[in-house]
Amino acid sequence: MKKRVLFVCTHNSARSQMAEGYLNTRYGDRYQAFSAGTAPGTLNPHAIRAMAEIGIDISGHRSKDLGEFDEQEMDLLVAVCEGGLCPFFPWAKEEIHQEFPDPSRLTGTDEEIMAGVRRIRDEITGWIDATFGGV
């Protein structure tokens, strides 16, 4: 049986979406990933492009409110937000707080923003490989 993992950040627009897409694509034989936000926004187009560059299509994803997962048991909740309070989610067996920078705070030209999103993507995928890859 696959372990269920819920990635959570504030807007569910980039970090948690990239993590969901990567875990499902790379380790979908062992894990089923979901993502949600405490204040969902709009899917970040830079995150879509950054993931497409590594062969993962998240363009069909949508931002979801954490409440959509009420009473759905998860093996692991991973909060990927920076600082602040982590969401309370009583249906998770285990919780991890792993901070990643917020792509929505990046400024500059399109290429400068994309460079930042790529760095964040690579941090997230590297962490997932180290955390879930050897299990």
By annotation, the residues acting in catalysis are: 9, 81, 86
3-class DSSP assignment, residue 127: helix
In eight-state DSSP terms, residue 121 is H
* Apex 127 CA angle, 65 and 12, nearest 5: 15
Cα torsion 40, 42, 47, 52: sign: positive
- Phi, psi dihedral angles at 104 (to 5 degrees): -70, -15
